Structure formats: structure tokens, C-alpha cells
Structure 1
Amino acid sequence: MLRLETQKEVSHGSYHIRQYQDSDHKSVLDVFTRGMEEHIPRTFRHVLMLPRTLLLLLGVPLAMVLVSGSWLLALMCIFSLLLLLQLLARQPWKEYVAKCLHTDLADITKSYLSARGSCFWVAESGGQVVGMVGCLPVKDPPLGRKQLELLHLSVPSQHRGQGLAKALVRTVLQFARDQGYSDLVLTTSVIQQGAVSLYLSMGFWRTGQYFMSMFWRLVDIPIIQLKYSLPSA
């Protein structure tokens, strides 16, 4: 287990984790944006496999053939439906990125480093930012609990498989212990199966789920709530 007194820097051989600096801003936004965009094709594939989507892709073109007698129109209809579904799968992730870039990630120092009890780290390798994670206090925790929320864990695909994501989570866990938090909480989605598996393997457990919008409910993609209760609490 990592042990940080100042929570500023820790080495892991091929990379090291340190506290965010303003000069990292552009790199952090790039890692975050590319990480979120990775979920678009997964969301599209998930939507395609839904029974209601398959029914739509088969039923509408078939109706077109029965009405018009044209297989060309039916093929054009299928193509148009696929394009529409792809746009629908893309839009929520694009909106989430835009929201974050205009709120907490617009000024990371102000959002995460200006007060005690919150922090933001980057993982660096070869002078490049290859991972990121932040945490903020939960504003209205359950009675008697002091909770910290893990946010924006991201590691580019070419740097995965080195234990980097796990090291970033451990850094947040140690920070939570040092700051006297009783729980570390987070939310993710069923689309992010790699992240879900990582958290569960580290001792988090599911506490609930909800749909972020009507679109997520329609395509059956719930947001999963996870929690890690700190042994020292």
C-alpha cells in the first residue's frame, strides 16, 4: 500500500504519480477527452445489441419494402438508422466532456487544490502525462460519514496493463485515510466494464444504480454507484 505524507509524488518504476500543476492542464484535458471518446463505439455496440434496436433495424426497412416495393429504399433506411444511432451514442459523451471542461476541469487548481480535503494527481512517464485522477468531498454525505468522491480516473489505452490505474486509485485511498475520510465513493457506467472490474477487485462494492437521463434509461445503460469503506474509519 502506498504511503504518502504530503501526497505530492510517488514513484512506480516506469512512471511516477505527483500532484497536478497548472502546466499539466492541456495534457490532462487531452487524456480526459480521449478517454471519454473511447466509450462512444462501446455505447454504439451496446445499443445495436438491444432487442428493440434489432426490431427497429429489421421492422422499419421491411415496412419500407412492403409499402414501396423498393429494396434500395430499405437499404438507405438501414444506413440512415445506423447513422442516427451512432450520433445518439456519441451525443451524451460529448455533452459530458463539454460540461466538465466548463466546470471543474476548467480550472483544476481552483477546483481541486485550493482547499484541504481535495486533490488532483497526474501520472507521468517520459515527461508525458499518462494518467489522471481527482477527488472532492461529498457535499451531503450520510449522517455520521465523511465521504470523498473519486473523479476522472483515466489512463490512455497505450499505457494500460502496467498497474497504473490501480496505483492512482491507491493514491486516492491513502489520501482519504490521511484526511480522515470514512468512505471513498464513485460512479461509473456499465459501459466501462474495465473500470468496474478494477474497482471491484480493489474492494469497492456496489451500493446502487440509477439512470442519468431518459436516453440512458431508453438504451439500458445505468450509472453504477460504488463505495470503499476505509478500515481506519
Structure 2
Amino acid sequence: MTNIQIRTFREEDAEVVKELFTLAMSEHVPSSFTHLLKQPPTQMLLMCVFCSLMASSKSFLLPILAVTLLLAGARQLVVYMFNSYIETTLKKDLNNISDTYLKQKDSCFWVAESDGRVVGTVACLPAELSPGCLELKRMSVRRSYRGLGIAKDLCRTVANFTRDRGYPAVVLYTSVVQTDAQKLYEHMGYQKIREFVVPELIAKIVNFTLLEYRLDLQQDGKKN
């Protein structure tokens, strides 16, 4: 069995933490593209373009080419959205993890280590949108180490940290396309309390929905 240790972030972990975050976010491009294709406005646009060009050109080639180009453009739009989010995050809290998470009150950043290799991350800090709660952030586990219970241990680490500091609950945000993450959080006792579309223009175009989850904690030392 793989020996996993969860410990507090150290400065020498910075680059691998950024790598794990980038890889984890990039994994969601295909599912997000599929999500976009399932949206009625997308399907209507493709159908209208195909039928219009079919009627005007009397040929299959032009409408097929046009739809193909639209699909390629849609995928690039999704890639751009994720790359922008990754770049912004790397420049913000992940640019100086110690200042953001270790030097601030009621905040922390942990890594999961296996035989000296960082294979997972998680963090928490006071929630901006839910005063009086802590927010779980930056959860990721290297693909080859999934299924070993690492993500569950990282979730428990945040819950215990939150409980020890007297906060009543943990909140987190995940996306509609992250179905594995949703199953994990629900298994750990989180309840979905809200859905909303990201306010940025591109996210609105692709109907990129975020889900808010909440885990209420007992304050008697027992796990929820």
C-alpha cells in the first residue's frame, strides 16, 4: 500500500503545486466542451448554420466545413477560458502560497506526499461569500494516485482544521463538469446548496455553472 503523508506546504513545494493545479484544471477541457455541445443554443446555432448553407449552396461540403470550423472555434473558446483561469490563479494565491495561506489567520495549505513526491494538494481560508465559514480550495490529486483515498484524507484534514478553530461549516465551489469531485464531496457529507453561472462573458456563453457545497460540522470533537 502506498505510504501517504499529509503535511503543511513548504516553499520547495511551490512548483509542483502549480503543476498539479494546471494539470487538474486542464483535464476538464474535454468535459466542458461536451457540456457546451449539449446546450440548446449551441445545437440550434449549428443546426441553423448547417441548414442555411445547405439550402443556399445545394452542397454538403460547405455546411459540413462551416460546422467543423464552428466546433473547432468552440473548443478553442473553452481552452481559452480554462487557460485564462489557470493563468489568473497562478498569478494570485498560488504565486505566493505562504503569504496567502500560511501567514493569514485561520488559513492553511497542505500537500499529500508519497515517498517524497507531492501527489495532492488542498487549502482553506475564510470564505468571502459565506462569512463565518472556511472555504476548501485547490483540491487536486495526481491522476496516477487517485482511488487511494488521498482526496478523502485531504477533505478530512480541512474539516478537522475548520472544527478545531471553532467554525461551524466548510464551503466549497466546484463546476458542473467535475462529476467525480461532486461524488467525492457528497460522499464526505457535503450538501449542494446553490448553483450559479460564472459571471464572466465567456462562461455565460458556454453556460459554465458552479455548484456551492456546504459541510456542517459538529463542535464536540466528533466527525460529521
Please confirm whether the aligned pair reaches a TM-score higher than 0.5, indicating the same fold.
yes
Report the counterpart of residue 146 of structure 2 in structure 1: 160
Match of 1:227 among 209, 214, 220: 214
Query: How far off is 1:76 after superposition?
Result: 1.5
Match of 2:187 among 196, 201, 220: 201
TM-score (norm 1): 0.88
Report the counterpart of residue 7 of structure 1 in structure 2: none
Is the counterpart of residue 136 in structure 1 residue 122 in structure 2? no
Report the counterpart of residue 56 of structure 2 in structure 1: 67
Letter of the 1:102 counterpart:
K
Indicate the SS of the match to 2:94. Answer: coil
The alignment's C-alpha RMSD in Å is: 1.7
Letter of the 2:118 counterpart:
V
User: Identity of aligned pairs, percent?
Assistant: 37
Report the counterpart of residue 182 of structure 1 in structure 2: 168
8 A Cα contact 2:2 2:114, kept in partner:
no
Indicate the SS of the match to 1:105. Answer: helix
Report the counterpart of residue 47 of structure 1 in structure 2: 36
Cα distance in 1 between the residues matched to 2:129 and 2:195: 18
Of 123-132 and 52-61, the range deviating more from structure 2: 52-61
Indicate the SS of the match to 2:134. Answer: strand
Cα distance in 1 between the residues matched to 2:78 and 2:34: 9
Query: How far off is 1:60 after superposition?
Result: 0.6
TM-score (norm 2): 0.91
Q: How far does the alpha carbon of each residue in 1:154-192 deviate from its partner, in whole angstroms, 9 at most, with x for none?
A: 112211111111110100111111111111111111111
Of 183-192 and 205-214, the range deviating more from structure 2: 205-214
Cα distance in 2 between the residues matched to 1:174 and 1:230: 9
Cα distance in 2 between the residues matched to 1:198 and 1:140: 22
Cα distance in 1 between the residues matched to 2:142 and 2:31: 16
- Where structure 1 has 5 or more consecutive residues not aligned to the other structure, the ranges are 1-11
Cα distance in 2 between the residues matched to 1:140 and 1:131: 26
Alignment of 1:46-125 (within 5 A): 46-125=35-114
Cα distance in 2 between the residues matched to 1:216 and 1:139: 21
Q: How far does the alpha carbon of each residue in 1:20-57 deviate from its partner, in whole angstroms, 9 at most, with x for none?
A: 00000010000000000011100011111223322322
Cα distance in 1 between the residues matched to 2:143 and 2:126: 29
Query: How far off is 1:99 after superposition?
Result: 1.1
Query: How far off is 1:215 after superposition?
Result: 3.6
Letter of the 1:188 counterpart:
T
Cα distance in 2 between the residues matched to 1:194 and 1:74: 37
8 A Cα contact 2:4 2:114, kept in partner:
yes
Cα distance in 2 between the residues matched to 1:188 and 1:212: 11
* Inter-CA distance 163–19: structure 2 relative to 1 (3 Å threshold): same
Letter of the 1:195 counterpart:
A
How many residue pairs get aligned? The number is 219
Cα distance in 2 between the residues matched to 1:140 and 1:160: 30
Cα distance in 1 between the residues matched to 2:128 and 2:33: 34
Report the counterpart of residue 5 of structure 1 in structure 2: none
Report the counterpart of residue 14 of structure 1 in structure 2: 3
Query: How far off is 1:13 after superposition?
Result: 5.1
Indicate the SS of the match to 1:149. Answer: strand
